[in-house]
Every structure is written in structure tokens, then in C-alpha cells.
Amino acid sequence: MEFRHLEYFLAVVEEGSFTGAAGRLYMVQSSLSAALLGLERELRTDLFIRGRRGAELTDAGRAFLGPARAALAEAGRARDAVAEVVGLLRGSVRIAAVAVPGSVDVVETIRRFATEHPGVDIHLVPVGAQQMVDLVADGQVDFAITPRVDRLNPGLHFEPLISAPVVLICPSGHKLAGAREIDVCEVVDEAIIDLPRGWHARALFDRMLEERCLARRVRLEVNEWLSVLTMVQRGLGVSYGPRACIDPDIFCGIDVATLTGAPVWELGVVTRDEALRGAAGRAFLSAYLEQCRGGSR
């Protein structure tokens, strides 16, 4: 069994199909399939159920998944240890991130880091906040840039980068646009463009209503922050969210109103124990935090 076979196996699991995995690995699909068939023959069992919907794991495949990830992680740590001794920085960095304000945008760090360390591969994984925390806990990403979640797994650390009050987001010219200290009861009858359950801003807004025993009807949910702002901009309704995540240069035609007793939304970095990250991950995280501190200054 070769490490490349483990990489091929995990690529199919993560992409959900041989076609997607082949594209990610820059391989011909027939070569990928042949390599994994060889692995299955060596293990004397099928790892995948191959069908029209893609590739699903068999019971044996699910049993193989954890050890495969652990073996590749150990190999990566071994390479990192050697690279640190000889003064090189190689390997890969995997980051889970949501859309963030410009002051803590990870793209600038990626640009600089890729120039300074061309031997490091960088992977940016966009997923929901709770999924990000799970990916960090499982060691599938080096760290996550995410809103604070209510429950943080043991062994994880949240370092806040931004704290901002939740505000009401209105089209310019709306009767509430620019108002100060609005009681949330004045909002419930408005056409509200909601974020889905599971988003931290939605949880904070719902909690405000629950504390006042206010009920509302959810008419429209949008699972993408920029789309929410675009809909508000075009006058479809009002919404809510952290003030720090509204760029007035991009979204002209939007105004905000402050809410009485508004909760604070936090964005930060979730990491595991320092010893569990590779050299490349530690170096990238250090560069990113330094960039954020410079931006805040």
C-alpha cells in the first residue's frame, strides 16, 4: 500500500465521485480507478459502491477512512519535522473560512504566503460554521475563520478577531434606515430576509425575539451573505447582521439601524492544540494573525 493510494481514496471520499477526485488530482479518471481497484484487491474488499450518484463508502470503506486520514497526517507531520530541521517550509495548509470583512480577509495572507513559500500548497474550504469546528477537531483543516459557535469541542480554542453589534439592515429611504436604538418589536412585522438556522447571526437575532416573547413568520431564507445584502439593496425587505460585515463601498443604497440591547457577534480563529498543527499551518496562521493585528491598528 502506498501513500498515494490513501490520497486517492480520501480525494474520492471528499469529492463524492471519481470524476471530481480525478479533476482535483489532475489525473485521468481511468488511472485513478485502476489505482483504487488495486488497493481494493490488496485489502480484499470493496471500499466504494460505484453508482450513478457517485461513489459511496461501503462498511469497509468507512472503517478504512479514519486510519487513512491518520496515516496521511502522520506522514505530513514527519515531512514537516524534517523541513523544519533543514530550514525549509513545505507541505500544505488547509483553512476553513466564511466570508469575512476586509480587515481580516485571508486572501491577502494567501497572496503573500504563496509568494514567499512556493513549496506550500494552500487549500481554502468554504463550509458552515459548525462544520468548520468539526473539521478543526478532526484535524482535516489547520484552523478555521468562523463566527463564534455556542458549543466548542474540548481541546479547541477560539481567538476573537472582530466583535460587532448585530444591526438592522435596511434599503436607503426605508422608514427605519438610520434610526437609533430601535426596539426589536418594531421589526417583527417587516418583510425580513432571514439567514438560515445554524448561522450565528440568525441565532442571536432569534434569541432577541425569544427574550421578548415575540413571534414572527419566516418568509424568506437566503444561505449566502452577499445575496442577503443584494436583496436588501434592491428593496426586497430588511435583514440583520454584524455591522462589521457590511461594506458601504460595495453596497451603496444600504443603511443600518441600531437595535436596543443588540447582541454582539464575534468572528475569530478556531484552532486545536499547537502541537497538532504542521509547520506550514503554524507559519500561515502566524502570518494571518499578524496581518489582522496590523489591520486593526
Report the range out of 26-30, 71-75, 173-177 with the highest average pLDDT: 173-177
Note the pLDDT of residue 216. Answer: 83
Note the pLDDT of residue 21. Answer: 87
| Angle, in degrees to the nearest 10, between helices 18-25 and 29-43 | 110
Dist CA 31 CA 20 (whole Å): 13
Nearest CA among 167, 179, 173 for reference residue 235: 173
Pick the CATH number of 1-87 from 1.20.1070.10, 2.130.10.10, 3.40.640.10, 1.10.10.10: 1.10.10.10
Please calculate the CA angle 112-11-19 and round it to the nearest 5 degrees.
110
Note the pLDDT of residue 171. Answer: 93
Q: What is the mean pLDDT of residues 76-80?
A: 72
Dump pLDDT digits (tens) for 226-277: 899 999 999 999 999 998 888 877 788 899 999 999 999 998 998 886 555 6
**Residue ranges of the chain assigned to CATH 3.40.190.290:** 161-266
Note the pLDDT of residue 84. Answer: 61
Q: How confident is the model at residue 297 (pLDDT cuts 50, 70, 90)?
A: very low
Burial string for 214-247 (b: 16+ CB within 10 Å, else e) reads eeeeeeeebeebeebbbbbbeeebbbbbbebbbe
278 or 291, which is more confident? 291
Q: Is pLDDT at 101 greater than 70 in this prediction?
A: yes
The pTM for the full model equals: 0.63
Q: Is pLDDT at 88 greater than 60 in this prediction?
A: no
Q: Is pLDDT at 128 greater than 70 in this prediction?
A: no
**Residue ranges of the chain assigned to CATH 1.10.10.10:** 1-87
Distances (CA, A) of 73 to 76, 93, 229, 276: 5, 12, 40, 10
Q: What is the mean pLDDT of residues 127-147?
A: 79
Q: What is the mean pLDDT of residues 282-289?
A: 88
Q: What is the mean pLDDT of residues 68-75?
A: 84
Q: What is the mean pLDDT of residues 82-106?
A: 73
Mean of the per-residue pLDDT values for the chain? 84
Note the pLDDT of residue 248. Answer: 76
For 177, the grid coordinates are: 434606515
Least confident of 59-68, 183-192, 274-283: 274-283
Q: Is pLDDT at 87 greater than 70 in this prediction?
A: no
Note the pLDDT of residue 93. Answer: 86
Contact 136, 268 (CB under 8 A): no
Dump pLDDT digits (tens) for 206-229: 999 999 898 888 889 998 888 999
Note the pLDDT of residue 259. Answer: 93
- Which region holds residue 46: left if phi is over 0, alpha if psi is between -120 and 50, else beta? beta
Dist CA 129 CA 123 (whole Å): 17
For 6, the grid coordinates are: 490513501
The domain made up of 161-266 is a member of CATH 3.40.190.290: yes
Dist CA 189 CA 161 (whole Å): 34
Q: Is pLDDT at 142 greater than 60 in this prediction?
A: yes
Note the pLDDT of residue 210. Answer: 92
Q: Is pLDDT at 26 greater than 70 in this prediction?
A: yes
